[in-house]
Amino acid sequence: MRAFVLTQASNFAGVISGSIIFIALPWLVLDVTGSSAQGALVIAASSIPGLLLAPMMGSFIDSIGRRRVAWAAEGVTVLTTIAFPLMAVFGAINLWSLVVLAVIRNIFSPGGQSARKSLVPDVAAKAGLTLDRANSLHEAVFAAGFAVGPAISAIVIGFSGPMMAFWWSAGAGAASALFMLAVKVVEKQEPASADDDIKRPLRYAFEGVRALGRYPAVAILFISLLAVSLIYIPTEMVVLPRYFNDIGQPEGLGFLIATMATASVFGSLAYEWLAARISYPNLLRMVLFGISAAMLPMAFLLPQWGMLVLGAILGFSFAPVIPLLNTVVQRQVPANLRGRVFSLEMAVWNASPMISFIAVGFAVDQVGVQPVYLALAIGVALASLAISSAPQMHALASAKQAEQTTS
């Protein structure tokens, strides 16, 4: 159980570190540039490395080791995080320096989370936990960290400005690396296929992409994640920061994000119970339509109490999709391929919004927050309808009976 607990401690600290930046970076860009469009440019540009280098990071996880990459990626991310305030000391902070620093940071930061997800079956088996329970706990811890991080960020920004938040992020990241260094576990070795050869690095790196064609249940979950990240995530990263910046309430944004994340803790903990009673396709439909049902009224920019109530519904509804994805990947994908598949997941989650961030930022500058927010909410609803009737849903139904590969 010790290895599982330490992995979750690393998970918690690492998520706090990243979620502090989730609030602090857009706020810093708005302070420096005063433009949502330029803020979206920084966020989108910083996502490019995650997209291009995800296969390579996955290769490192599967070849070097899950635990080693988990602590090393966090350690390097700490160094890149403290570069922001250090650059500010020398008066070198502007739009382009922010782009460069954000790009460098995002080369490494997704690696820690991907490696920890790949390690979950190993530490869960040692602790005697089922995959459903282990992933439910793992994502609940993740959500708890994401509840704490934005609140810390909002409070620090309110009292000391966004630069101080980067130091808090670096401290949490260092703790995450140290917790992972203390984990002792034997990592299961299960080659993906006979020709999955590290001596052919390009083919090896892109095996995670090809896996989507072999595992349609994984593919439909990736499509769902792509739709949510492409349409929904810009509301948290572009639309809502602009709204709360305009009304001068940084704490309002922080507490809304924290409320969503707190509700996600309960949604993640509910996953094991839901998965035992609801088919995987219906669970996915519940997630998608729950997000849509909360977003549509939120788009009318209700009073803070209304935004918090609907944010809680949104957070709870969204939460089960990630432990569902984790469980299906860990059941169907061989152990030595998981790192590349989970790295692809992080690329989809972190990098695909760059396609919409800039357009959303320009739209907010031109027509305002409310019309853009409503258009995005309608987009999520339409995507939910399309995914719910996709043929891959049949494969997702059968994945529930797949044999676990963590013994």
Q: Please state the length of the chain.
A: 407
In a domain, 190, yes or no: no
In a domain, 189, yes or no: no
- Token match 């090393």: residue? 72
Q: How far apart are CA 77 and CA 93, in angstroms?
A: 19
Domain count, the chain: 1
Determine the pLDDT at residue 407: 37
With residues binned 3-state (H G I as helix, E B as strand, rest as coil), the percentages for the chain, rounded to 5, are 85, 0, 15
Q: What percent of the chain has pLDDT over 70?
A: 92
Determine the pLDDT at residue 77: 92
8-state DSSP, 130: -
Determine the pLDDT at residue 15: 92
User: Which stretches in the chain have pLDDT values below 70?
Assistant: 36-37, 39-40, 44, 47, 49-51, 191-199, 201, 351, 354, 401-407
Contacts of 371 (CB under 8 A, 6+ apart): 363
Amino acid, single-letter form, for residue 372: V
Contacts of 295 (CB under 8 A, 6+ apart): 232, 235, 314, 376, 377, 380, 381
The angle formed by the CA atoms of residues 129, 132 and 135, to the nearest 5 degrees, is: 85
Is the CA virtual torsion 69, 75, 80, 81 positive or negative?
positive
Determine the pLDDT at residue 406: 37
Q: How far apart are CA 81 and CA 59, in angstroms?
A: 24
Task: Provide the angle, in degrees to the nearest 10, between the axes of the packed helices 131-160 and 321-332.
Answer: 140
Determine the pLDDT at residue 401: 62
In a domain, 196, yes or no: no
In a domain, 407, yes or no: no
User: What pLDDT, in 10s, does the model give residues 78-128?
Assistant: 999 998 888 878 777 777 788 888 888 887 888 888 899 989 999 998 899
8-state DSSP, 404: P
Structural domain of residue 237, as residue ranges? 2-183+202-399
Say which CATH number the domain at 127 has.
1.20.1250.20
In a domain, 195, yes or no: no
In a domain, 194, yes or no: no
In a domain, 92, yes or no: yes
Give the number of other CB atoms < 10 A from CB of residue 200.
11
Determine the pLDDT at residue 191: 65
Question: Is the separation of the CB atoms in 166 and 29 below 8 Å?
Answer: no
Determine the pLDDT at residue 273: 92
Long-range contacts of 94-100 (CB under 8 A, 24+ apart): 94/32, 95/29, 95/32, 95/33, 95/38, 95/41, 95/42, 98/25, 98/28, 98/29, 98/32, 98/42, 99/41, 99/42, 99/45, 99/46
Amino acid, single-letter form, for residue 25: L
In a domain, 252, yes or no: yes
Determine the pLDDT at residue 198: 66
User: What pLDDT, in 10s, does the model give residues 63-83?
Assistant: 888 899 999 999 999 999 998
